[in-house]
């Protein structure tokens, strides 16, 4: 489905119509031929589907009416951005799923009741990555004095993108879950975090890692990212 913003004609369009896909990157709007993705039923894909199914059933069968009401109140109070950069609202169910998908996959406790603070966590402006062909590891550095890092239940989840040629300056996927860091109370999470790359990397390639911060009460930040050129 495409989102269309109308004015004196079409001002902004995002998504697919017929055989065309419309999007925007840092250089402006663009259009490309639509490609239909295959369904490889990979292990990672199946794991994500299982988590979503589990959380969907959890929402309807395990949460109390009061807990669902709390998520709906949070959803009504928190503004989000859609593909056109416009302010929109998600449902309480949407927020419950997006907040608990990573904890569920990592077998961490589910946040049952919706947050009572109606703001999203801020991004970590210090977030940076480096990578090495020799070790096949990626290292992420982050601010371990932020609130999520010093509370039990806080989480920094990260996804790695497929390596690209060095001249590429914009990348929007695909990404695959790479690693996560849990908050520690007391003491704070340890930065940097080093872990094996999920896509093999080679010297001179460029890679991106996206990240989200989750607070212990279930609030999940917007995506922020970092990139680097792979070292020897």
* Domains with residue ranges and CATH for the chain: 3-33 (no CATH), 43-105 (no CATH), 128-229 (2.60.40)
What stretch of H or E contains 67? Answer: helix 65-77
Contact 182, 214 (CB under 8 A): no
Q: What pLDDT does 111 receive?
A: 95
Full-model pTM? 0.79
Tokens of 152: 């039990």
Q: What pLDDT does 200 receive?
A: 96
What pLDDT tens digit does each residue of the chain (232 aa) get? 555 555 555 555 566 665 666 655 554 555 666 666 556 566 777 878 899 999 999 999 999 999 999 999 999 999 887 666 677 888 999 999 999 999 999 999 999 999 999 999 999 999 999 999 999 999 999 999 999 999 999 999 999 999 999 998 888 888 999 999 999 998 899 999 999 999 999 999 999 999 999 999 999 999 999 999 999 9
Q: What pLDDT does 29 receive?
A: 59
How far is residue 184's CA from residue 214's CA, in Å, rounded to a whole number?
A: 13
Tokens of 15: 């998504």
Q: What pLDDT does 194 receive?
A: 97
Query: What DSSP string runs through 96-164?
Result: HHHHHHHHHHTTPPP--SPPSS-SPPPP-TT-EEEEETTTTEEEEE--TTSGGGGSTT-EEEEEEEPPB
Q: What pLDDT does 35 receive?
A: 60
């Amino acid at each position: 489905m495409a989102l269309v913003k109308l004015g004196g004609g079409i001002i902004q369009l995002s998504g697919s119509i017929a055989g065309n896909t419309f999007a925007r990157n840092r250089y402006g709007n663009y259009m490309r031929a639509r490609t239909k993705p295959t369904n490889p039923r990979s292990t990672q894909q199946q794991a994500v589907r299982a988590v979503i199914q589990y959380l969907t059933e959890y929402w309807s069968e395990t949460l109390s009416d009061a807990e669902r009401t709390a998520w709906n109140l949070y959803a009504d109070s928190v503004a989000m951005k859609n593909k056109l950069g416009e302010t929109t609202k998600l449902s309480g169910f949407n927020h419950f799923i997006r907040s608990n998908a990573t904890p569920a996959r990592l077998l961490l406790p589910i946040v049952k009741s919706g947050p009572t603070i109606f703001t999203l966590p801020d991004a970590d402006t210090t977030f940076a990555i480096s990578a090495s062909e020799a070790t096949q590891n990626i290292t992420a550095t982050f601010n371990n004095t932020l609130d999520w890092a010093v509370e039990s239940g806080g989480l920094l989840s990260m996804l790695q993108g497929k390596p690209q040629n060095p001249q590429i300056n914009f990348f929007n996927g695909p990404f695959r879950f790479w690693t996560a860091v849990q908050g520690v109370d007391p003491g704070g999470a340890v930065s940097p975090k080093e872990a094996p790359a999920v896509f093999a990397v080679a010297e001179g390639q460029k890679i991106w890692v996206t990240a989200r911060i989750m607070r212990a009460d279930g609030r999940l930040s917007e995506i922020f990212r970092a990139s680097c050129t792979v070292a020897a």
